[in-house]
């Protein structure tokens, strides 16, 4: 395999998964560990699309918009959705909060309510860390660049010991095939979140309906309640309700 071809394949694999270990790259490319390390060093210095980490590499290119940039997109809609979701959550519940800009707004709406909060989102941790009425449990792991969310094997292992009354999560896309998100490492972690919760609440904007993201997360049947803005079409309202999901539409 030519050098440029190998590096192109390596970069594509890292982009697809978000984070890839050196050993996985060695096996995938059928080359030596020293060659993989040299390629990673070269791409880290020249492409600006990956970042070397201990034991592997993470994708930091522009396929995912930076968290701070996304945070203020449709902020009014996110705040309205957040208030509706916060009203569903009772004091002293155990709540599992996934990463994302809408879930961060849900966290803000929960300020002042006594809760046990479990999260892998560093922005949410920063919001709750000094709140005396919040018992905060932080899920660790590899922290994904730009989003501040802990992912991977360590996060999955910790989540196996968690049981929550509700999970609040966002997704990258929704079709009749189910939920999708932006990389496989994120999806592996979120699947364990789904297994840890009694009730799954998906918060999203209507633009996500009918669109896939990179990796399939779960069927629609995994969702108990979906909270969305008023832009959702009548067709999708019918699909969601037929799937047995409680649909809450937050009008402007």
Q: End-to-end alpha-carbon separation of the chain, Å?
A: 55
Lowest mean pLDDT among 74-78, 111-115, 154-158: 74-78
Euclidean distance between CA atoms 162 and 203, whole angstroms = 21
Looking at every residue in the chain, the average pLDDT score rounds to 87
Give the pLDDT band of residue 64 (cuts 50, 70, 90). Answer: very low
pLDDT score recorded for residue 60: 63
pLDDT score recorded for residue 1: 66
Is the overall model pTM greater than 0.85, yes or no? no
> Each residue of 120-167: pLDDT tens digit?
999 999 999 989 999 999 999 888 876 789 998 899 999 999 999 999
Which residues lie closer than 8 Å to 17 by C-beta, 6 or more apart?
A: 59, 183, 184, 185
Euclidean distance between CA atoms 145 and 19, whole angstroms = 10
pLDDT score recorded for residue 72: 47
pLDDT score recorded for residue 21: 87
| Res. 102: pLDDT tops 70 | yes
pLDDT score recorded for residue 65: 44
| Res. 70: pLDDT tops 70 | no
> Each residue of 195-209: pLDDT tens digit?
999 999 999 988 889
Give the pLDDT band of residue 51 (cuts 50, 70, 90). Answer: confident
The secondary structure of 224-235 as a DSSP string is SEEEEETT--HH
Which residues lie closer than 8 Å to 28 by C-beta, 6 or more apart?
A: 9, 13
Which residue has tokens 């790259």?
25
pLDDT score recorded for residue 115: 97
Lowest mean pLDDT among 43-47, 71-75, 85-89, 238-242: 71-75
| Res. 12: pLDDT tops 90 | no
CA 15, 169, 20: angle at the middle one, nearest 5? 20
Percent of the residues in the chain that have a pLDDT greater than 90, as a whole number: 55
């Amino acid at each position: 395999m030519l050098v440029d071809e190998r590096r192109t394949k390596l970069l594509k694999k890292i982009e697809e998964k978000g984070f890839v270990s050196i050993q996985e790259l060695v096996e995938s490319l059928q080359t030596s560990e020293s060659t993989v390390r040299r390629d990673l060093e070269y791409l880290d210095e020249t492409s600006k699309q990956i970042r070397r980490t201990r034991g592997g590499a993470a994708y930091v290119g522009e396929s995912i918009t930076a968290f701070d940039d996304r945070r203020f997109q449709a902020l009014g809609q996110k705040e309205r959705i957040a208030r509706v979701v916060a009203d569903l959550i009772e004091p002293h519940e155990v709540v599992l909060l996934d990463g994302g800009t809408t879930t961060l707004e849900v966290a803000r709406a929960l300020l002042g309510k006594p809760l046990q909060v479990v999260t892998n989102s560093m922005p949410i941790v920063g919001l709750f860390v000094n709140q005396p009425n919040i018992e905060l449990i932080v899920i660790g792991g590899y922290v994904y660049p730009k989003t501040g969310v802990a992912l991977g094997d360590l996060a999955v292992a910790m989540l196996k010991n968690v049981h929550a009354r509700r999970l609040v999560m966002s997704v990258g896309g929704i079709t009749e095939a189910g939920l999708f998100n932006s990389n496989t490492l994120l999806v592996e972690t979120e699947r364990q979140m789904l297994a840890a919760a009694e009730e799954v609440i998906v918060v999203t904007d209507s633009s996500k309906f009918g669109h896939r993201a990179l990796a399939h997360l779960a069927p629609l049947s995994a969702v108990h309640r979906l909270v969305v803005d008023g832009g959702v079409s009548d067709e999708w309202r019918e699909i969601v309700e037929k799937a047995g999901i409680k649909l809450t539409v937050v009008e402007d």
